[in-house]
Structure 1
Amino acid sequence: MSPDGHLGARLELRLIGPFQVRVEGRVRLLPHSVERVLALVALVGPLARSHASALLWPDAAPSRAGANLRAALSRLADVAAGFVHVSGEVLALAEEATLDLETALAWINATIYDTTFPATSAPPSWIGRTLLPGWEDRWLEAPNERLQMLEAQALATAAEQLLAAGHPDEALPYALAAVDVQPWSESANRLTVEIHARRGDPSNALRHYRRFRRVLEEELGVEPGPDIRAAIRQLYPFGNPLVESEARPPLA
């Protein structure tokens, strides 16, 4: 099953990357106001009309926001009917509509929780893509953050499983992808350092550690934790000229 949708699905909605709607395999172009309504219902879940209109048009008066929502739903019915199920005051994504995010979450859950689920030869192509890039809606922040955290956890889990099975080369792309998704994650970066070491590549382990330390200093103003420093010490004991002294002045 592909995150690009189910083969033969009549109604398809793609939110990982640019917005796209397909009806019976054909792309339908929608006004942006209609795209926002459809994306909100798909990502937030069933919600009342008043809640939807307040999230979509937070700066508008409730009456104006409600009118905007009614107009957008009317346009959706004209251009791509069937995506939204309306039950009284509640809006929900229709059960027959397929969503790429659901397929992505299925892979994430299988990787994290199913110990028999085999990692593929490379991370899925959608890894690292954000939901609806370029959109600045505030309600989109939480779903994007959640997807990134779950991606990083699944990638790290796959890397750990491959490393434990004695396949460090296959584990490396997963660990690097986890770092790409969350560059400040100490666990993902420590795992990457360990994989480099298990591959017999201590120089890349040290380079990766140095990059990670710069990211922490520049973005968060903190030092790497003791676990990843201990991993580096095992590769480069103190006294080795390649290891920078940790006895540095504290960060301002």
Structure 2
Amino acid sequence: MNAVRLEILGPFELIRGGRSAAVPAGAQRLIALLAVRGEGIHRRAAAEELWPECAPLRAAANLRSALCQGRKIGPSGAVVCEGHRLALSPCVTVDHRDACEAARHLLEAESGVTDAPAELDGLVEALCRPLLPGWDDEWLILARERWDQMRLYALEGLAQHFLALERYLPAHQAALAATAVDPYRETAHRIAIEVHAAEGNIACAVKHYLEYRRLLQQELRVSPSPRMTELIRELTTA
């Protein structure tokens, strides 16, 4: 069974035999939906989610066309049908699934992170990527929320892990990547400040705090937590 690689973290790309394969728009939507719904989905539900603005008969016709296109990708096709249920072919590996599995392993590890540094650096790179940016499909809303929450916690965990190892550059990069996912979330900003402090860059730590406080006041009319404020106070009075 020939392997096919699907990338949906960032722009959609399907790679077959080391080369990017041209995939029609309808088949892209179907394949991406099946990649996110790893357990598969009923044909009718797939048609309704992919073409919610269409009448049922038109949506079903669009699905049949997308299925036909999907079956032409590789010797075994990208989509398998079992009765009325559709799923992604086992020959297709997905970057989103791999990143979620690695992040879940990281978050559930009870004895600490044991992955090789290169693997962790690669995970940070994957966690920085948004899920299918530019797509406005409604079925992606919840999938994006789940992905963003997963990568937030994983990036923060990686930042703390790198900080404990005194690998300050990857620690700072992971923390900043988390702030890019959610600029208002304090945890990642606090880790970034702790990285600056560990390096002895107190001025950078204070600057980061002031910028974060300004963001909160301008956008939400709130202030950083007492915990973060106390952290800065300790740094500037030490």
TM-score tier by shorter-chain length is 0.7 to 0.9
Distance 1:230 1:119 in 2: 35
Distance 1:219 1:145 in 2: 21
Pair 1:110-2:105 in alignment? yes
1:167 to partner: Cα distance: 4.3
Q: What does residue 77 of structure 2 align with?
A: 82
Distance 2:73 2:189 in 1: 47
Amino acid corresponding to residue 62 of structure 1 in structure 2: P
Pair 1:151-2:167 in alignment? no
Aligned residues: 230
Q: Which has the higher helix share?
A: 2
Q: What does residue 117 of structure 2 align with?
A: 120
Q: What does residue 243 of structure 1 align with?
A: none
Change (3 A) 1:29 1:228: same
Amino acid corresponding to residue 104 of structure 2 in structure 1: N
1:169 to partner: Cα distance: 4.9
Match of 1:12 among 5, 30, 39: 5
Taking the TM superposition and a 5 Å limit, the aligned residue runs for 1:146-225 are: 146-225=146-225
Contact 1:158 1:174 in 2 (8 A): yes
Contact 2:6 2:92 in 1 (8 A): yes
Taking the TM superposition and a 5 Å limit, the aligned residue runs for 1:40-59 are: 40-45=33-38, 46-59=40-53
Amino acid corresponding to residue 76 of structure 1 in structure 2: G
1:25 to partner: Cα distance: 2.5
Taking the TM superposition and a 5 Å limit, the aligned residue runs for 1:241-252 are: none
Q: Deviations over 1:42-73 (max 9, x none)?
A: 11231111111111111111121111111111
Amino acid corresponding to residue 145 of structure 1 in structure 2: E
Unpaired runs of 5+ residues, structure 2, are none
SS state at 2:152 partner: helix
Q: Deviations over 1:95-144 (max 9, x none)?
A: 22111112212331233233142463646333322111211111112222
Distance 1:188 1:76 in 2: 40
Q: What is the aligned-residue identity percentage?
A: 35
Distance 1:78 1:170 in 2: 42
What is the TM-score when the length of structure 1 is the normalising length?
0.82
What is the TM-score when the length of structure 2 is the normalising length?
0.87
Unpaired runs of 5+ residues, structure 1, are 1-7, 238-252
Report the aligned-residue RMSD: 2.2
